[in-house]
Structure 1
Amino acid sequence: MKRLILIIMIITLLSLTGCVIDLKGSGIEITDNNSREVKTGDLRIFSKEFDIKGQNNLKVDLNTSAGEINLSKTNDKLFKGDIKTNIVEIKPRIDLRDDNLNIGYYNTKKITFGIGKPSNFINKWDLKLTNKLPLSIDIEANATKSIYDLTDLMVEEFTTDFNASDVDIYFNEKNKVDLDNLEIETNAGNVEVNGLSNARAKDIDVDVNAGNASIDFDGDINYDVEMDISVNVGSISLELPNNAGIFIRKDSQLLSLDIHGKDLEKISSNEFKTTNYDDKKHKIDITIEGNASSINIK
């Protein structure tokens, strides 16, 4: 509830000032409940790994804050994780129960994470997931700078809730399975998705509040796509494949739609489609809603 109220306050403030948050170059501030900067000490390293033992899939729940996250693949384990931190008050938690992997902290109730002046803390998370099993990945990350390289993984579900974070997501090769559920939410942050045509995602939800998102298909598709975009006091850059027919419905007059290099014709007051839409084998249908935001289509 507190986070929701904070997001509403940010959106209200930015709507009045006409600004969008940009986290590039920002630091992360960590304080206790009395607004005092938390203590740092010696560098500690937490390492854990699990073998594949009868699992048919893996459900991953990642909930972390105030750190640098790098997630990628491992060929020989179910999971490998190395966490380096010098923050005295926190202890990372990595638990596996059957096919459920939970990654987060044990004790963060006394700590507040936010954007502020650069701090001298170290909190780096290097996480590797198996490329041998289908994965359902759910991420909540607050005040982080992260790279999620999903290349060569079997990603069936990927849902995110990023808050005040700077995030890069990569699909550099074809996903080994269909991605049934792709949901990307960012609040007061930046997200870049690269190689989306490799994700094999047919249903895509993007939700941006007081932030920026860059979505790049980066190649052709061989399936139809339904995309729902919600953006409030933010901006989205959307680079679409050339081999698909594009249909766009804009459900708000408070959105600025800027189209480059696509032969889109206006077919009603709020609908657009490429002139060759009906002739294309594969199609992308996009619904956009929101307020005080800009959409750049390429």
Structure 2
Amino acid sequence: MKKSYIVILLAGFLLSAVGFGFMQIFASEKEEELVIEKDRAKQLDVKMEFGAGEFTLSGGSKEWITGSANYNHRKLKPKIEYKQKNDRGVVKVVQNEGINFGFNNFRNLHNSWDLQLTDEIPVNLDVDLGATEALLDLRGVQLHSLNIDSGVGDSTLDLSGEPKNSYKAKIDMGVGDLTIYVPESYGVKVSAEKGLGQVNVPNLISQGNGIYVNEAYNGKDFIELTIDMGVGNVDVLMK
């Protein structure tokens, strides 16, 4: 995510404060169950787009995806798409585009997802977050690749445990604080680029040029983690 997007996002909120009028009263809160059932797919490509609120994602689902969404306006209702291409399942869980609540109504917003992914097959996971408090506990999920693009908010990402394979993870953080947990007994390589923030990597070994590894790193089997930080702090901790 380009950091200029954050400026545009914040500017949009201010403009909305002047010209709002989209809606004065929110509806009562609704809870909706989200399920994508298992089929014969051997790998999943998962795309999630979440606008604003609280986002929680973990493993352990008995289906491909299970969970719930809570929201207090019909335009926050998530849209779910799934199709199978040969042995690959393609998943999209997104919110409606172009939602503009205005600044005053934004304060009354309630929106949260609590989702679980399968642990049974490899997953290419792409998560796009807006103004969000996020917890992604991906221990046990068979990640094949991971991409997280976060706008504004504080996030926790848990990649600890014992991965079944090497994979690349890219984290693009706009504004906020991010805590990442990585395994101590499995190789980890961290490449960090920072804007106005700070990247803290205690107990990792510097290789220069913003690259850090843990003691288990052997150059063969490892998590390759790339962090692009805008404004805020990132803590990479072993667990």
| TM > 0.5 | yes
SS at match of 2:4: helix
Residue number in structure 2 paired with 1:247:
207
1: CA distance, partners of 2:212 / 2:117 = 40
Residue number in structure 2 paired with 1:185:
172
Change (3 A) 1:81 1:293: closer
Choose which of 56, 72, 76 in structure 2 pairs with 1:70: 56
Q: Which range moved further: 61-70 or 36-45?
A: 36-45
Judge conservation of contact 1:232–1:290 (CA < 8 Å) in 2.
Answer: yes
Residue number in structure 1 paired with 2:193:
230
Choose which of 19, 22, 35 in structure 2 pairs with 1:49: 35
2: CA distance, partners of 1:289 / 1:139 = 15
Change (3 A) 1:281 1:290: closer
Q: Which range moved further: 184-193 or 116-125?
A: 116-125
1: CA distance, partners of 2:114 / 2:212 = 43
CA deviation after TM superposition for structure 1 residue 81, in Å: 2.5
Change (3 A) 1:149 1:226: closer
Change (3 A) 1:90 1:287: closer
1: CA distance, partners of 2:39 / 2:92 = 17
Supply the RMSD in Å over aligned alpha carbons.
4.1
How many aligned positions are there? 224
SS at match of 1:89: helix
Unmatched 5+ stretches in structure 2: none
Residue number in structure 2 paired with 1:169:
157
Structure number, greater radius of gyration:
1
Deviations 1:57-96 (A, max 9, x none): 1111011111111111134211112101112433211111
Question: What TM-score results when the alignment is normalised by the length of structure 1?
Answer: 0.62
Larger relative contact order (Cα-Cα within 8 Å, sequence gap ≥ 6): 2
Correspondence 1:1-298 to 2 at 5 A: 5-7=4-6, 34-36=19-21, 38=23, 39-98=25-84, 99-106=89-96, 108-111=97-100, 119-178=107-166, 180-194=167-181, 196-197=182-183, 219-221=184-186, 223=187, 225-241=188-204, 246-249=206-209, 282=218
2: CA distance, partners of 1:286 / 1:153 = 16
CA deviation after TM superposition for structure 1 residue 160, in Å: 0.8
Change (3 A) 1:55 1:187: same
Judge conservation of contact 1:161–1:186 (CA < 8 Å) in 2.
Answer: yes
Unmatched 5+ stretches in structure 1: 11-27, 198-218, 251-271, 275-279
Question: What TM-score results when the alignment is normalised by the length of structure 2?
Answer: 0.76
2: CA distance, partners of 1:287 / 1:47 = 34
* Fraction of identical pairs, as percent: 16
